[in-house]
């Protein structure tokens, strides 16, 4: 006696979990391979559009195929049901009228309807079947029932019957060897009988396959014909893209004025062309400003360098013996060196500002103390003007004290330069709402109205002459504007020739986002 216990089988849910994990790993592997290889393949937009169009056509055609096949199957089923009901009525009449099995009449009904008729008595013994060979085989010739739809209808496998009859079809396969069976109990003179009508689905499934094959071939031909026209249309629609590519390739540093054509239809490609042209306009303006900046910086540096070279040559010739020439040269070289240093520092400041690398140290301090310091320093270095500070409210502000003082000093220095001796320069500071207001007013020569929009441009000077009294680099106001803008503030300038200038700076008490 074998006492070994058989190992219990794994629960069904464990197999389901295993299969699910395998499917997930397969999809994960497919995604990885897609990212690894397919994403590196360059596919044109036209090809992508064509693929998308073909997939769309295939999905529509597949839906149409399903509808057609479903309609065919439904009407075939209804036809079978009607013929089976009619056959049952005729068989029932024949059995009631005759005491024995009416084989000839059943053969006739089977031939006309296309059904295989099987009759069983009350003990479920097979008493009639169309093929006598099947009758001799007994129970082994009864096809295997595969699916039961209800108590009267089922689907059976015809493979056994075909093998007994010596029939085999390797091309169509076993999937077509099915019978649709409709069974019913009928009364007769010899008692109740069980009648089964088996309709072979072989021909119906073959017809279904032929329809599907014909539809598929027609759809493939239709897709190929439409694909050719679609590709041509896609190339025409996307032709502006190729024009854009050619135009952009021709844009160089010496051909910055080249632009993409915006003619044609009103679509997204035109919007793209307009947007791209706007970007080129901005790039060209920035490039021109940069060129002008470099040119102006070179010009400003050339002057002090030329002066230094001139005095160096003069020193080389006469400075060794002439002390007057020596003192004058040394003084001039020191002055121009300071000018160069000042210019370079301003250029570096603006460069850091353009790159957003200029350090800003925000802190709380009292603005009135900063204004007092500016007024005190100005009075110390300038004795030719009257420096007033009539209003200086105590205001606590959050800002970069060093940079804000530098900006105020720029405007005060400009007032000193362009206000004749004996003139008045006045500073105000007060609180207005959530802003601190700083005003610098002078009685100088003023600024022409046509120059006002340009005074904050780099290297711009309303007074084109450069003298020791009013000379400058033209960068101070640009730096001052950058400082005030970084503090989320604003600048307002009011001026007229020979009437003086008033500059009003407004800076938030608390600067958001800085």
Judged by average pLDDT, the poorest of 111-115, 136-140, 248-252, 437-441 is: 136-140
Radius of gyration for the chain, computed over Cα atoms and rounded to the nearest angstrom: 50
Say how far apart CA 90 and CA 182 lie, in whole Å: 15
pLDDT of residue 372: 93
DSSP string, 135-172: HHHGGGGSPEEEEE-SSSEEEEE-HHHHHHTT---TTT
Q: What is the DSSP letter of 444?
A: S
Q: Are 273 and 260 in contact (CB under 8 A)?
A: yes
pLDDT above 90 covers a percentage of the chain that reads 20
Q: What is the DSSP letter of 446?
A: -
Confidence of residue 364 (pLDDT cuts 50, 70, 90): very high
Between 344 and 113, residue with greater pLDDT: 344
pLDDT of residue 160: 44
pLDDT of residue 280: 85
List the strands of the sheet with 435-442, edge to edge: 386-392, 424-432, 435-442, 500-508, 490-496
Taking only the tens place, the pLDDT of each residue in 479-499 is 999 999 999 999 999 998 888
Taking only the tens place, the pLDDT of each residue in 164-194 is 444 444 434 444 577 888 888 877 766 677 8
Between 191 and 272, residue with greater pLDDT: 272
What are the chain's domains? 96-208 (3.30.450), 268-352 (1.10.287.130), 360-508 (3.30.565.10)
Confidence of residue 507 (pLDDT cuts 50, 70, 90): very high
Of 354, 327, 491, the C-alpha closest to 414 is: 491
pLDDT mean over 22-33: 82
CA distances from 77 to 84, 90, 177 (A): 10, 20, 17
Total-model pTM: 0.51
Q: Is the pLDDT of residue 342 over 60?
A: yes
Taking only the tens place, the pLDDT of each residue in 199-227 is 888 778 888 888 888 888 888 888 778 77
Confidence of residue 162 (pLDDT cuts 50, 70, 90): very low
Between 432 and 120, residue with greater pLDDT: 432
The count of C-alpha atoms lying within 13 angstroms of the C-alpha of 174, restricted to the half-sphere facing its C-beta, is 7
Taking only the tens place, the pLDDT of each residue in 232-258 is 777 777 777 777 788 888 877 777 777
pLDDT of residue 132: 55
Q: Is the pLDDT of residue 144 over 60?
A: yes
Alpha helix (H) ranges present in 382-439?
401-417
Of 196, 182, 197, 190, the C-alpha closest to 96 is: 190
Q: Supply the mean pLDDT for the chain.
A: 79
pLDDT of residue 230: 77
pLDDT mean over 106-135: 72
Q: Is the pLDDT of residue 461 over 60?
A: yes
Residue 222's CB: how many other CB atoms inside 10 A?
12
Helix 367-381 crosses helix 401-417 at what angle (to 10 degrees)? Answer: 40
Taking only the tens place, the pLDDT of each residue in 372-429 is 999 999 999 898 999 999 899 999 999 999 999 999 999 999 999 999 999 999 999 9
Contacts of 61 (CB under 8 A, 6+ apart): 215, 219, 222, 223
């Amino acid at each position: 006696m074998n006492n070994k216990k058989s190992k219990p089988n794994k629960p069904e849910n464990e197999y389901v979990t295993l299969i699910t994990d395998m499917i997930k790993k397969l999809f994960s592997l497919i995604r990885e391979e897609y990212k690894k290889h397919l994403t590196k393949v360059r596919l044109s937009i036209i090809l992508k559009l064509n693929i998308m169009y073909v997939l769309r056509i295939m999905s529509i055609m597949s839906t149409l195929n399903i509808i057609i096949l479903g309609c065919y199957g439904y009407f075939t089923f209804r036809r079978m049901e009607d013929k089976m009901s009619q056959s049952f009525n005729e068989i029932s009449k024949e059995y009631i009228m005759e005491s024995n099995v009416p084989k000839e009449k059943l053969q006739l009904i089977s031939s006309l309807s296309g059904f295989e008729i099987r009759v069983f008595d009350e003990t479920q013994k097979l008493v009639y079947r169309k093929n006598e060979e099947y009758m001799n085989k007994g129970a082994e010739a009864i096809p295997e029932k595969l699916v039961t739809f209800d108590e009267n209808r089922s689907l059976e496998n015809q493979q056994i019957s075909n093998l007994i009859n010596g029939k085999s079809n390797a091309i169509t396969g076993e999937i077509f060897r099915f019978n649709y069976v409709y069974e019913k109990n009928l009364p007769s003179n010899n008692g109740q009988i069980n009648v089964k009508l088996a309709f072979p689905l072989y021909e119906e499934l073959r017809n279904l396959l032929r329809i599907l094959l014909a539809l598929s071939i027609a759809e493939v031909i239709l897709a190929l014909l439409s694909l050719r026209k679609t590709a041509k249309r896609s190339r025409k629609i996307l032709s502006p893209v190729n024009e854009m590519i050619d135009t952009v390739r021709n844009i160089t540093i010496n051909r910055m004025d080249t632009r993409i054509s915006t003619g044609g239809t009103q679509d997204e490609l035109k919007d793209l062309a307009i947007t791209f042209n706007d970007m080129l306009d901005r790039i060209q303006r920035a490039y021109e400003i940069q060129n002008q900046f470099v040119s102006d910086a070179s010009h400003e540096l050339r002057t002090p360098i030329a002066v230094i070279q001139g005095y160096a040559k003069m020193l080389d010739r006469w400075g060794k013996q002439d002390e007057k020439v020596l003192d004058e040269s040394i003084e001039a070289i020191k002055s121009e060196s300071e000018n160069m240093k000042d210019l370079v520092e301003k250029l570096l400041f603006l460069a850091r500002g353009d790159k957003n690398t200029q350090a800003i140290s925000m802190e709380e301090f009292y603005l009135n103390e900063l204004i007092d310091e500016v007024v005190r320093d100005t009075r110390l270095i300038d004795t030719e003007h009257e420096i007033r500070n009539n209003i200086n409210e105590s205001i606590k502000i959050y800002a970069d004290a060093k940079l804000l003082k530098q900006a105020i000093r720029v405007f005060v220095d400009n007032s000193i330069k362009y206000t004749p001796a004996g003139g008045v320069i006045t500073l105000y500071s007060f609180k207005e709402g959530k802003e601190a207001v700083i005003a610098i007013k002078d009685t100088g020569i003023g600024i022409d109205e046509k120059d006002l929009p340009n005074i904050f441009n780099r290297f711009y000077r309303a007074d084109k002459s450069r003298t020791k009294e009013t000379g400058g680099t033209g960068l101070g106001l640009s730096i001052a504007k950058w400082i005030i803008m970084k503090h989320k503030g604003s600048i307002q300038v009011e001026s007229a020739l020979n009437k003086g200038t008033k500059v009003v700076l407004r800076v938030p008490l608390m600067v958001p986002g800085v």
